[in-house]
Structure 1
């Protein structure tokens, strides 16, 4: 290796996450395989595929909730046990649905503090650093003024942003998001997009499962198409082509009408599922 190549390699950031031939398989046999990609600090990857393609399985596998059955998974250059990274708070996770009972008497601030428990353990009380992390997380999602409000009294979009703050409270290097924009109105959607941009600028890596191609183009640097296995990975412009999407959504006629990708009958809809893409597909 010449000196110039060595200097360039030294300047390139080490990937936060790198998979090589990885597979995650449920005990029943379903799963996703053939995953080879990496995410650098400050990069966002849109994870796109049809229902049952393995998107949630991949996210759960990275969290250690689904067994890895092939290949390697490395965090920051080192391979670790399935649960150790999430256990130390290096992975933040926003689930697809709000799993907290809205009638349970707990404040937004207390919900966000749950994100610190992995670092604290169950036998330590939150300290000054933990309270500061919670305030910073609430600031990041624009909900600092609602910290003392009961979680169940917030709007659906505010609860979703509150759960994102919980994921951020652990100061993760990698943030995993499972369909974070489902059911959000435009103000909460805009706030979440702005939050993701801010996190990227701070060097947080993001892997977001989404059906929203507009989000992919506005926020994400890379796209990972999956349908049981990896179909394509690369830049948004290179991967979000009509041919690639048709291959990924195999067996379904995909139509393109200016800025909208239409997949008839997808995801259990009676007519079609529309994916807004501000610039359309090539």
Structure 2
């Protein structure tokens, strides 16, 4: 009979390094995930099964958001966080069991895209159904659209260099800190308009957070709890804008700026070559 590892053993040997993790993942999710992983590593449960289970939870969470009830928003937020917890656990189980596969990588990536999209759409639908405000639905549309446009920048950058190394072993190195997207050495002096974009983006404390789905999903969780436990009981059921609406308006402003700033940098300064360091062997 195999000995069950301790949570500390999982953390030390089968989690990513601190510099590879986001703040929330390292200080919150990874503290919890190791205690779950230690119970799963000696079972027949596979990493891909954990991934699929988490994706299902995330999809249900997105549907709960769309119910136009505060209870639905709270339950949806919790389910989305359980999806993210499973996203930590599946990798730890894979590393412990040495069960790696291309299908697992695909499932992990698809899970992030699917759950973040469904969660944001559900959050927006539920919020609009509650308040029925025209400018709120406009803000929701901008929020969803430009979040995914921002993600598209990174995908397009990868595709731009893929064909150059077809048939060769390629190592892609991305900056550990997303702020390096703006601070690459060797890039010529930027035009004033790009400097303006960068200055505006720094209104947000952590620049990279504007396109980080986990940061957005955590913000959705926090604002849902604030509205449910504080705003509604003390300010009334019909208060508008509530903190969730304010969050959506904030992202409706920040995400287009983030996209335009990144797009301008890439197309005006051949930034793909500077940002992604490719080595073809």
User: Under a length normalisation based on structure 1, what TM-score does the superposition of the two structures give?
Assistant: 0.25
Larger Rg, first or second structure (1 or 2): 2
Question: Which of the pair is proportionally richer in strand?
Answer: 1
Greater share of helix residues, 1 or 2? Answer: 2
Q: What TM-score comes out, normalization by structure 2 length? A: 0.25
